Structure 1
């Protein structure tokens, strides 16, 4: 689902005009923000097209990828539903629904946690691995195609810039909302 419903973004000159009415509007910040959202929407759309062709949702794909990463990188240690919910940024109830459908389709299994028998662990099944083997080649090709317009150096710069934005988002998210007459200072 797109975050930004605009396909045609306002011209910079229009943002400058709007800043006359809305003094808190920083035209260059607004332009960069709108392009960030628009680009994110397009990247999401490209990923979603591939996942839809394989009849899998973004949420289910995220869970499968977290379980794949855990098994491939860290010695096949399953994750608890609570860990998966935290890593996906969803509620535990939402994660339960995702796991239920993945388990119904035979892509994951729930097992008693080997350390704490009161807990359940979620593991990727052989069928789940196969399914990812079908989805990932197209996913990786689309990702590479999308980023192919950037050099390696530009990609590193992009990552660095996006990390700065993520850092600011974390800082802003932990503060109370701005009052109507208050504006964010660049150093805030």
Structure 2
């Protein structure tokens, strides 16, 4: 989102005459959050794309598998990363072809399958995660540790994951 797309305080005050419930500070804060998120995400994803040929979806899928070493059902992966089952199916086919993942029978239901990282996939994650987390750390160094903790609290509060 370009900065020019964020309305001015004055513009929002003018709209408030039509809809009194408009809160200019809330609108500007939300748009600033969105803009900052887009900029941070783009800078991180650019590196993942250029250095490792990873799309955002593929990276998210690898993170989910890394966090679930025991394996996880494709439908659960789709739900966790917010894509359709068809999209996950296509991604899994490509990643299995690349040797990063393997589909195994589910221990609970032999008709179902779970997806796990292969050794190659685990090694790949061990290679890319430390520098990824370092890039994130460097980006967040613009804020003090206290500001980072407050930001975490405020974002959780805004999303309803923590109460006042």
TM-score, length-scaled by structure 1: 0.77
**CA-to-partner distance for each residue in 1:165-185, whole Å, 9 max, x for gaps?**
2118xxxxxxxxxxxxxxxxx
Runs of 5+ consecutive residues of structure 1 not aligned to the other structure: 72-76, 169-188
Aligned to 2:157: 164
**CA-to-partner distance for each residue in 1:50-74, whole Å, 9 max, x for gaps?**
2111101111111111111122xxx
Aligned to 1:182: none
Aligned to 1:37: 34
Distance (Å, rounded) in 2 between the aligned partners of 1:105 and 1:142: 26
- What displacement does 1:35 show? 0.4
- What displacement does 1:84 show? 0.8
Map of 1:74-153 to 2, 5 A cutoff? 77-153=70-146
Map of 1:5-84 to 2, 5 A cutoff? 5-8=1-4, 9-53=6-50, 54-71=52-69, 77-84=70-77
**CA-to-partner distance for each residue in 1:1-47, whole Å, 9 max, x for gaps?**
xxxx3333333233223333443432111111110110110121022
Distance (Å, rounded) in 2 between the aligned partners of 1:56 and 1:87: 18
- What displacement does 1:144 show? 0.4
The Cα RMSD (Å) is 1.7
Distance (Å, rounded) in 2 between the aligned partners of 1:87 and 1:58: 14
The answer to whether the Cα contact below 8 Å between 1:108 and 1:128 also exists between their aligned partners in 2 is yes
Runs of 4+ in 1 over 6 A off after TM superposition: none
How many residues align? The count is 159
